[in-house]
Amino acid sequence: MPPSPSVDIEAEIRFLSTTEGGGPGPYRSRLNTTHDFGIEETLVDALHVFPDVAEIRPGDTVRSQMSFLVPESLRDRLYDGFTFTVQEARRIIGHGRVTKILNEDLRRP
């Protein structure tokens, strides 16, 4: 599946297994979830596209192309290797690491 024209970052995401407290899955491209990027009392919404696989099961690690609903909330904050959590509401379902920043406005100076 081709990336969305507004892809902000690429990340490696490891989805927690169900025994680790992750969601039941499976997950598919166009997954819309919340994320904790370390902004106090703020979760950031993003759409995930998984270009390499059709379906993700709990416990899988995948490449994700992420488009933020409000990218301005992350302006000047991100860098390659930045870590964050993937959530369904307040429940953590995965851990992510930024591998590529495509929206340069988000890059930490």
Mean pLDDT computed over 6-23? 95
Q: pLDDT value at position 71?
A: 95
- Whether residue 6 contacts residue 28, with contact meaning beta carbons closer than 8 Å, is answered with no
Q: How far apart are CA 100 and CA 12, in angstroms?
A: 10
Q: pLDDT value at position 24?
A: 87
Average of per-residue pLDDT values in the chain:
93
What sign results for the dihedral spanned by CA atoms 60, 85, 30, 16? positive
Give backbone dihedrals phi and psi of 18, rounded to 5 degrees, phi first: -65, -30
Q: How far apart are CA 11 and CA 62, in angstroms?
A: 8
pLDDT band for position 3 (cuts 50, 70, 90):
very low
H or E element, residue 94: strand 91-101
Q: How far apart are CA 52 and CA 26, in angstroms?
A: 15
β-strand pairing of 31-36 with 83-88 = antiparallel
pTM for the model stands at 0.91
Query: Which domains are present in the chain?
Result: 9-106 (2.40.30.10)
User: Strand pairing partners for 33?
Assistant: 46
pLDDT band for position 65 (cuts 50, 70, 90):
very high
Mean pLDDT computed over 33-62? 94
